[in-house]
Structure formats: structure tokens, C-alpha cells
Structure 1
Amino acid sequence: MFLLKKLIALLLMPPLAPLILICGGLLLLRWRPRAGRVLAWSGLAVALLVTMPPAVDALLGGLEDIPVLQPAQLADAEAIVILGGGARTNAPEFGGQTVNRLTLERVRYGARLARQSGLPVLVSGGAPSGSQPEAELMKTALEEDFRLPVKWVEAASLDTRDNARMSAALLHTEGVKRVVLVTHAAHMRRSVEAFEAAGLAVIPAPTGFFRRGPADDTLPRLPNMNSTYAGTYAIHEWLGLLAYRLSR
């Protein structure tokens, strides 16, 4: 089921989705020229749209709408949960594997909050690719690079719902009911839904905002590497939210 979900997501997301439209349109040109042209140009339009900064900001607007955590909110929590965002499997300078950029951003912010609050930390993330679990890599990064102890390691989850269900099981045995949840801002809506459904009260702590800031307004609002990645991430999150609604 996990692999099936990933395959469906790949087919519905850039770059495959626009390419499928373009290829389908080109194949239709011989028999249905008008429909083929419409389909091919539609694929090209979608490919451009999801990389244009204004369109990407619009996609992110409904995702990155949870405000930044205020320090006073930490007093109401009992633990900090940091969600994994992937691993870098070819990291010879780290002895094999380490956290990827997304996970490192979450780990860094989680470490900052843990130092401010003194709250215990849970890291959550399995090994979807069959390599070393993300949670183990996160624990190593936190303890060796940030000098911060990790109390709980949830290393079996494969997706956000697994993160929530398995983390809640660990925390409930310790009597923890209210947590600070650290993940990317665009991923927060889906994460809060999953963790609340698992029986935890959640204080969101979003990080890694993809939307352009005031300093970016001086740059041309043209497609670029960052907007392309952010657009793909936003579509992934909207598809995830849609899947949650359909599976209720």
C-alpha cells in the first residue's frame, strides 16, 4: 500500500504529471489534432505554472498559514516531537548516511526549542527506502552535532500518519498528552491533523517556510530552482490533505 501511494503521488505531481499531459497530447496529434494540441499545451502550462513564484506562493498560502510558535507557548507542552523529512544515503563524510536538508532544518529548530524549554525530545521517522531509519540519523545529529539528548526514538513509521500513531503510542505510555510538533510549515496542517487524530494535543512549531519573504521581492519573479522545489512540495501536501479527506 505504501509503494502504491508513492507511485500514485509520482504520477500526479511534477515533473511526471505535466510530461504525461504533453506526451499524451503529442500522441493524439495524428488522430485528434485539436485535442492533442490542447492537451500538450495544457501540460506545458501546468509545468510553467507550478514553477512561477506567484503561483507557488498561492499554492503555499493555504498551507503555511499556521503562525510561528511564541516562546510562552512552550510552557504548556510536555515534550517536543520532531518529524523526519528524509535522509541522505550517500554521505561518506559522515560515515555513510545522515539527515537530508529538510530533516536538518527541522532538527535545528527542534534543538533550539528544546534548549529554550528544557523539554524532552522525541524523533520520528522510519526507513521508507530500506536504509537506516531517519529517527536514528536524527538522534545522532542532535546528540553529536547539537549536544542535545534524545529521550524517545520512533524508527518504524513510513508516513505522517505512522509518525503520529507510533509517536503517540510511545508518549502515552509516559503520560505525555500535549506536545510541540516541529515540521516544515507547508507540512504542518497535515501533521497536526494526524497527531490530533492519534490523541495528542498539538502546539504547532512550523519551520522552513517556502513562501518568498520581503527580501525576495527585489529578485525577478521568474521560475527558479527554489520555486520549482517549493511548488512540487506544495502539490504533494495538497494531495496528502485530499487523501486524508477521502480516507475518512
Structure 2
Amino acid sequence: MLFAIYKIAGAFVAPPGIFITLIIIACLWALRRPRKPLLFIYLCILALFFYFISIPFTTRLLLAPLENTTKPSLPEGNAVVVVLGGGQRRSIDPAKLDPSPHSLVRLIGALELSIEFNWPIIVCGGSYSGEIPEAVAMANKARRLFPNITIYEEAQSRTTWENIKNTIPILKSLGVKDAILVTHGYHMFRAIMTAKEMAPEINWYPYPVGESRDLVPLSLMDFLPKASDFQINSIALREYLGIVAYKTRLLLRLT
């Protein structure tokens, strides 16, 4: 019982729970005379939205359709592993360059395939404002760990669409028809949809990594706000918006 109280209290006095607490206080303040019923309703809706986007239970709901849609698949012959970047610690100093945890998860998945099947890797990711490209950060990390692996860098792209677009010429120059696409499970549906649309002549094989939702029975912890779940839920919502945008773009091209 004390443990539950400790967890509940901690969840609502640290971010993101503290923001929910402050909004609730503002809700109560709106009921003071002169009452502001519209402001009260607005703040209640805002608190509920902030709460639901911050809890692991919502993570399960949002990620299940994304992570369950695409299963891993591999070709039987020669292939190239294409790993999409997931961010980095931005730096102009090579000594302080490091892939983000998201990028590392994807890179590890690609390295596992490369080591097991002796497939080369293409790492994707450019820069936004003059820092060292993300592809360079991933390639440097991979080469330090496994210097004998063949790695190609696609260091100009800033979006998933550009990742695929800039990777296609590299695949064609290598004369490869089979490409394994490595990215997080929540991102795979949009990534593989983009790849198949842009380069149908290439056989794209999805290899999702890094499932982010919990797979244990529900408990109190699934209903307490957490910063990590606020982040992943925000990413999931952005993925849904991205899927809608990509499908709308495809529909407009067909009409």
C-alpha cells in the first residue's frame, strides 16, 4: 500500500504528471467566483488529454496496431540492409558524436543481420543545420565495434521519404534487388509503404526492431504518467498523422 502511494505521489509531482496536477488546480480556480464554466471545461479536457497521452496504457493502445501490422521478413539470397536513422546527439565535434538510443536499437538490429548473413549495410540520415550527419554517427559506431563490416553512408536525407529516395541510387549501383528495411516497429508501416511506392522494382523486406509497448498484464503502473510514455505516445500520434499524409499524397497522385 505504501509503495502504491509512493508511486502515485511521485507520478504527479514530477513531469509530466506535475503538469496534469497544475492544470487540475487551474480547473478548480476556474470554479471560483466569478465562475468561468467554459474555461473549466476546456481545462478539464486538456488535463484528460495530457493524462491519457502520458500513461503506458495508452502506449499499448496506440502502438499495437503499428507494431502488429508488419512482421519481419528476410530474403534467401544476397541483400543489403538499409537502416533508417532515429536521431543523434547533434554535434560539430566528431569526438562527441553519438547516435541516439533509437538509432542504436536500429543499428544493432542491422548489425545482427549483417554479421549473421554477411550482408552490407546502408545507414541513412543527414543533418539539419551543419552538424555532422546522422549516418556518419551510426557508421562510426558500427565500424568501431565491427571494423570488417561493409557500410555505406547516405548522409543527405532529413525525412523518411528522403531516406528511401537517396538510398535507391546506392542499391542500384550495387546491383542489388533485395533490400531489408530496418526501423522501429511503430515506424515500419509508413517506411515500407514509402519504399514500395518509390521503388517497386526493388524487393523490400521489413525487419522491425525495438517494440516499445509493455507485454505484461495491466497493473497500477500502466495508469500513472511517465515521461517515457509521453514521448512514445507523441511519436505514435505523429506516425498516424504521417500515414494519413502519405496515403493522401498517394491518393492525390492517382486522381
Shorter-normalised TM-score: what interval? 0.7 to 0.9
Q: Report the counterpart of residue 241 of structure 1 in structure 2.
A: 243
Shift of 1:42: 1.2
8 Å contact from structure 1 (residues 80, 179) kept in 2 = yes
Instruction: Map 1:1-248 onto structure 2 (within 5 A).
Output: 33-66=36-69, 68-69=71-72, 73-76=74-77, 78-89=79-90, 95-199=95-199, 200-214=202-216, 217=218, 220-221=221-222, 222-248=224-250
Residues 217/209 of structure 1: CA separation in 2 closer, same or farther (3 Å cut): same
Separation in 2, partners of 1:81, 1:217? 36
**CA displacement 1:44-69 (0-9 Å, x = unmatched):** 11111111211221111111114553
8 Å contact from structure 1 (residues 136, 153) kept in 2 = yes
**5+ residue gaps, structure 2:** 1-15, 251-255
Letter in 1 for 2:36: P
Letter in 1 for 2:225: P
Kindly report structure 1 stretches of 4+ aligned residues shifted beyond 4 Å: 29-32, 216-219
Q: Report the counterpart of residue 11 of structure 1 in structure 2.
A: none
**TM-score when scaled to structure 2?**
0.77
Separation in 2, partners of 1:243, 1:122? 26
- The count of aligned residue pairs is 222
8 Å contact from structure 2 (residues 99, 134) kept in 1 = yes
Separation in 2, partners of 1:91, 1:227? 30
Determine which structure has more spread, i.e. the larger CA radius of gyration.
2
Letter in 2 for 1:246: T
Q: Report the counterpart of residue 9 of structure 2 in structure 1.
A: none
Q: Report the counterpart of residue 11 of structure 2 in structure 1.
A: none
8 Å contact from structure 1 (residues 133, 156) kept in 2 = yes
Q: Secondary structure at the match of 2:97?
A: strand
Pairwise CA RMSD: 2.8
**5+ residue gaps, structure 1:** 1-14
Separation in 1, partners of 2:180, 2:189? 14
8 Å contact from structure 1 (residues 139, 150) kept in 2 = no
